[in-house]
Amino acid sequence: MASRTMQINYKISLCAVLILYTPVFVSFGQQTRFPWPEGKQVAISLTFDDGRISQVEGGTALLDQFDVKGTFYVVPLAVEKKLEGWKDAVAKGHEIGNHSLTHPCTGNFPWSRNNALENYSIDQMRLQLIEANNQIQKLLGVECRVFAYPCGQTFVGRGKETKSYVPVIAELFESGRGWLDEGPNDPEFCDFAQLTGVESDGKDFEQILPLIESAKENGQWLVLAGHEMSESGAQTTRLSMLKKLLEYAQDPAHGIWIAPVGTVAKYIKEQRKF
């Protein structure tokens, strides 16, 4: 009898432990949506890489027409080529981010062979990012708090010596954005050092709209990533597409909040505290 009682007590104790430590995925009613500002249903950030001349020759002017601020991840040498244009972009409230000093990517790209990530160490990458910040500060008077991985690649070294430099980004910046990712960010889960960036280059608005609608359905944060801001050419986010997107977003019925990466990230972090 005592043995039988001990078995029952053991089973009860085991069940209690399993209940205590097993994640519960039961949903009671509709899932609570992330509380975007002013009842918005989705956040969008418009981001552009490299500090291309077209960005300040026509791109920022279009954004200014709609009073929308973009995030521009720049390389110092590119900023120097159109310095006054970049100073004006800063004055208009656009966000400037770090895109490294020399844009290192895998040496599998012939143009990056002499600047290959495979030949970098973590310490060398950290120094490169710090120096890029210093030069951007001198050129534009801004402290970069956001970063985009050149080519979307997050490693240094090769083989068994390969290391991720994501921790360095988490140390130096408030966020790090990828490239050629497949979906938006979940504000309640995303790693700010590894934000997804969905390509906007070469797409019509009709191709972007389903991405927006899908993100809205799930209350997510869609970070669009592009390069040139013009109408044609390789790696170009078309101004005509952007114009349609901005017009669509201005309709309050669509529930869209467009803001720079740093602004959205800060808002999400504040909401997560609760």
What's the per-residue H, E or C state across 169-211? Answer: HHHHCCEEECCCCCCCECCCCCCHHHECCEECCCCCHHHHHHH
At 32 the pLDDT is 67
- Helix-helix angle 239-250:205-217, to 10 degrees: 40
CB 258 within 8 A of CB 249: yes
pLDDT by residue (tens digit) across 98-150?
999 999 999 999 999 999 999 999 999 999 999 999 999 999 999 999 999 99
Nearest of 128, 48, 129 to residue 89 by alpha carbon: 48
* Beta-sheet pairing, 42-50 with 221-226: parallel
129 vs 263: CA distance, rounded Å: 21
Grouping H, G, I as helix, E, B as strand and the rest as coil, residue 45 is: strand
Given the candidates 3.40.50.410, 3.20.20.370, 3.30.365.10, 3.30.70.270, the CATH classification of the domain at 37-272 is 3.20.20.370
Backbone angles phi, psi at 249, to 5 degrees: -70, -25
DSSP β-bridge partners for residue 238: 230
Residue 242 CB-half CA count within 13 A: 34
Residue 32: φ, ψ to 5°: -70, 130
Rounded Cα–Cα distance for residues 186 and 192 (Å): 11
Mean of per-residue pLDDT scores for the chain: 91
Nearest-5° Cα angle at 44, 42 to 47: 170
Determine how β-strand 163-164 pairs with β-strand 221-226. Answer: unpaired
pLDDT tens-place values along the chain, 274 residues long: 444 544 545 444 444 434 343 333 333 334 568 999 999 999 999 999 999 999 999 999 999 999 999 999 999 999 999 999 999 999 999 999 999 999 999 999 999 999 999 999 999 999 999 999 999 999 999 999 999 999 999 999 999 999 999 999 999 999 999 999 999 999 999 999 999 999 999 999 999 999 999 999 999 999 999 999 999 999 999 999 999 999 999 999 999 999 999 999 999 999 999 8
3-state secondary structure of 86: helix
pTM for the whole structure? 0.88
Sign of CA dihedral 216, 217, 222, 227: negative
Question: What are the residue ranges spanned by the domains of the chain?
Answer: 37-272
User: Strand, coil or helix: what is 131?
Assistant: helix
| Model pLDDT, residue 274 | 80
Scanning the structure block, which residue is given the tokens 């791109």? 59
Half-sphere exposure of 124 (CA within 13 A, CB side): 13
Sort residue 182 into left (φ over 0), alpha (ψ -120 to 50) or beta: alpha
Handedness of CA 36, 71, 101, 150 (dihedral sign): positive
Task: Give the single-character DSSP code of 244.
Answer: H
